[in-house]
Amino acid sequence: MPDSRVPRPRRFLVCEPRHFAVQYAINPWMHPDTPVDVDLARGQWQALISAYRAHGHTVDSVEPVADLPDMVFAANSALVLGGRVFGSLFHAPQRRPESTAYETWFKAAGFDVYRPESVCEGEGDLVPTGRYVLAGTGFRTTPEAHREVQEFFGVPVIGLQLVDPRFYHLDTALFVLDDGHEANIAYYPEAFSPGSREVLARLFPDAVLATREDAMTFGLNSVSDGRHVFISPRAEALADQLVRHGYVPVPVDLSEFHKAGGGIKCCTQEIRS
């Protein structure tokens, strides 16, 4: 297997979990009666930021807003592609104010922001793979938003139907290993409808297939820079597969965020210039 994979420096946007909590239930992972250790969460989040910077990546941060406990999940705020920002419109009313907070940051940073007309949860359901944008639907982002994304970016959008509520966002069931000319992905097939599984098999015949055990430990809520894969330490079988394919797993424990249905990728918005 290749041992010469080259990482590409990335620019990430994150949000400190200063107000992180599980105050409501909008996915099967969330139980408001389960206590959250905020100090532990902040320590885990800081370890992720340190890991990104140690591997040469740039990290920007948006100021957290009180009463928005899920704002830490920056990936849901937008899709940034070619320096253009397609914003968010959250399914859950509790999260809708996050869109304005992130829009404010993007505008201050010099970006114009498109506001979608349909429910769309950013990189939670929109995954660029070089030639395409893979787009999840079934629980959050709507097919109408997929059409908006295609019209806005002029990039073909491939709709994928999610069928398991535990994998309510595309980024809980799939992540991109390489997004260059020979793009490849890792994913959990059973999170998708039969037709969507066929589409993924056709587009990515060499994809890394994850087990349910790895998916349930948020192993697919990972971030790759083309060589290093920032991944849940509990996704051991998936990590072994990645090593065999020439990648270098970088374990980062974000288990406290699993209580809200999130992990590494959920906490990471990529700014693609």
Pick the catalytic residue from 146, 169, 228, 258.
Answer: 169
Cβ-contact 257, 72 below 8 angstroms: yes
Cβ-contact 154, 189 below 8 angstroms: no
Cβ-contact 232, 219 below 8 angstroms: yes
Question: Which of the 8 DSSP states describes residue 117?
Answer: S
As given in the structure block, the two tokens for residue 128 are: 């660029």
Alpha helical stretches, state H, the chain = 38-54, 96-108, 143-153, 194-203, 212-216, 236-244, 255-258
Which residues are CB-neighbours of 115 under 8 A, at least 6 positions away?
A: 87, 89, 99, 103
Active site residue 266: yes
Active site residue 120: no
The rounded distance, in Å, linking the Cα atoms of 4 and 189 is 28
Pick the catalytic residue from 15, 120, 266, 267.
Answer: 266
Residues recognised as catalytic: 169, 266
